[in-house]
Structure 1
Amino acid sequence: MKRISLLLMLMLSVLFTAACGNEPGNQNGGQGAEEKAAEESVSVKDALGDEITLESKPEKIVSLIPSNTEILFELGLGEEVVGVTDFDNYPEEAAEKEKIGGMEFNVEKIISLDPDLVLAHESTAVSAKEGLDQLRDAGVAVYVVRDTQQINEVYTIIENIGKLTGTAEDANELIASMKKNLDELKSKAGEIKEKKKVYVEVAPAPDIYSTGNNTFINEMLELINAENAMKDQEGWIAVNQEEVISANPDVIITTYGDHEQVLSRDGWQDVNAVKNEQVYDVNTDLVTRTGPRLVEGVEEIAKSVYPEIFKE
């Protein structure tokens, strides 16, 4: 009898301990929940220096610039994207998303989509400050992506978007793939014996624009062992036609879809690129958007400048 009583007491003790462990206020159970919550929340500093914190992976995302959209889709977040700009044209699925406007976005439309996250861009953060503040006041998390002209910083942008959206592993894989492809292009460029001078035109006559130092295109030309004819100037520049004629580039690349008109310009007939019909066009989106397709842009320029090396 005494033995049965002891056994009964032991069973009750075990049951009591288990019950306490499952109580909401139990220290161990609460600690586990806190640790889980901490793992799900993430904080990332944006281009304005603001710390943006999300408690869980966003289920609805609005993108305010095409480059952000391209990154999101590449990270497998196409389903989560609920709103894009009127300019979003890649991938094709982006065209099916709700449009929230262009340079001036529709705040009411964005709020109606009930997003957990809005990806803005530093290039329009000042002009769009009022609208972004309205979104913040409505309780929407707004992350401002850095404006950059350096490929290395694009990797950081992808990494940060990956962290915010719970796709950090995919982001790291994407970055590794981009670096690998660029390394292969740089390796091929090492075979080049005679460097060519290249003039890149991003806007046609009468208001001609090109790109100088500290731009993606300048970095791309350096990566493929070519010389930018406008390298002595900074950023996106208005060009005097005499400057181009004087520089006498070996190759001319346009980014607006009409390279043929360059061949018939008055006074350009003695420029090497025109004389030898080495004038080509590349897709502007590939060489200007801060996203995964920049590597494709490098390759397109490389094939135009050194076809004998890069078209093999």
Structure 2
Amino acid sequence: MRVVSHTCSNTEIVCALGARDQLIAVDSDSDHPPEVVSELVQLGRDLQLDVDAAMALKPDLVLTSLTVPGHQRIVAEFAARGVPHVVCNPQNLGDVFDDIHRIAAALAIPERGERLVAEMQAAMPLQSQRDDAPRVLVEWWPKPVIGAARRSWVHDLIERAGGRNALGAADMQTHSYAAGEPPAEDIDLIAMSWCGVKVDKYRADVVVRRDGWQDVPAVRDGRIVAISEEFLGRPGPRLVEGYRQLRAAIEAID
């Protein structure tokens, strides 16, 4: 089967399923596993994917996504071409597992999907939830501040890791804070996971200097950690590493 992947997470799922040999092209944001993607045709950034170039490769299957605003146009273009495609749009961790099953089924390897999901679930055990569980903000962007809210697989990761999502009451995918707006929520831990930024460029001082945030417990007590967006922002197998780092940061709180 000749497979085109439109997003990083789908590329990583295919490889984790042991089907990397079926990939013929990926978006240029797909950077893992490097030894695989470096050998594939690059179709451009996920929001500007060259659909004509993808179709010229005569794919049997396109794996696409609605996880980023603007992906709708790319999905619609593939749908209009009539090519078989799978669209992922997870709102929680269960949806991520379902997407892995759907991709595995589309690749005719359903048993590998079952095995991968079982391995991920075993690697992310649910920690006991204390009444005083730390409130965690996973921050997708620093200015304006955008955080993961309830309709996000990150909400589930935080809870599995033993914390509470500081934005868990917000029934949406993300919540944005206005400039200078102090958070109404008490936040015990801030995890910087800035989208599209390499983790070595994350700077805690950007959070510390933020207007109105000096009395936030996480800022006041220096509980600001960096977790690569590769491990939290990509709904695929490497969420396991994001869970591990969240759990370690939560357990480090007295």
TM interval, short-chain normalised: 0.7 to 0.9
Work out whether 1:81 is the aligned partner of 2:19: no
TM-superposed deviation, 1:125: 6.3
Whether the 8 Å contact between 1:122 and 1:144 is mirrored in structure 2 is no
SS of 2:49's partner is: coil
Whether the 8 Å contact between 1:66 and 1:89 is mirrored in structure 2 is yes
Whether the 8 Å contact between 2:231 and 2:241 is mirrored in structure 1 is yes
Q: Mean alpha-carbon deviation: is it higher for 271-280 or for 114-123?
A: 114-123
**Cα distance in structure 1, aligned partners of 2:162 and 2:76:** 44
Give deviations 1:148-179, integer Å, cap 9, x for gaps: 12111222211121122122222111111011
Whether the 8 Å contact between 1:253 and 1:282 is mirrored in structure 2 is yes
Query: Across the two proteins, how many residue pairs are aligned to each other?
Result: 241
State the one-letter code of the partner of 2:48: E
SS of 1:79's partner is: helix
TM-superposed deviation, 1:134: 5.1
**What is the match of residue 120 of structure 2?**
178
State the one-letter code of the partner of 1:119: L
SS of 2:116's partner is: helix
**What is the match of residue 236 of structure 1?**
174
Query: Structure 1 vs Structure 2: percent identity of aligned residues?
Result: 24
Indicate the structure whose relative CO is greater, using CA pairs within 8 Å and at least 6 residues apart.
2
Q: Mean alpha-carbon deviation: is it higher for 190-199 or for 214-223?
A: 190-199
Work out whether 1:255 is the aligned partner of 2:193: yes
**Cα distance in structure 2, aligned partners of 1:191 and 1:249:** 17
For 1:50-89, what aligned pairs fall within 5 Å after superposition?
58=1, 60-89=2-31
Work out whether 1:303 is the aligned partner of 2:248: yes
CA RMSD of aligned residues (A): 2.3
Give deviations 1:95-145, integer Å, cap 9, x for gaps: 331111221322331123222211122456642355214532xxxx32132
SS of 2:84's partner is: strand
**Cα distance in structure 2, aligned partners of 1:129 and 1:153:** 19
Work out whether 1:199 is the aligned partner of 2:131: no
Work out whether 1:165 is the aligned partner of 2:107: yes
State the one-letter code of the partner of 2:95: E
Gaps of 5+ in 1: 1-57
Work out whether 1:121 is the aligned partner of 2:58: no
Work out whether 1:294 is the aligned partner of 2:236: no
**Cα distance in structure 2, aligned partners of 1:263 and 1:227:** 22
Whether the 8 Å contact between 1:125 and 1:144 is mirrored in structure 2 is no
**What is the match of residue 272 of structure 1?**
217
**Greater fraction helix:** 1
Give deviations 1:46-94, integer Å, cap 9, x for gaps: xxxxxxxxxxxx1x21111111101111111112111000111111122
Cα gap change, 1:146 to 1:250, in 2 (>3 Å): same
Gaps of 5+ in 2: 195-201
Residue of structure 2 aligned with 1:94, choices 14, 22, 37: 37
Whether the 8 Å contact between 1:255 and 1:282 is mirrored in structure 2 is yes
**What is the match of residue 216 of structure 1?**
153
TM-superposed deviation, 1:308: 6.9
TM value normalised by structure 1: 0.70
Whether the 8 Å contact between 1:255 and 1:283 is mirrored in structure 2 is yes
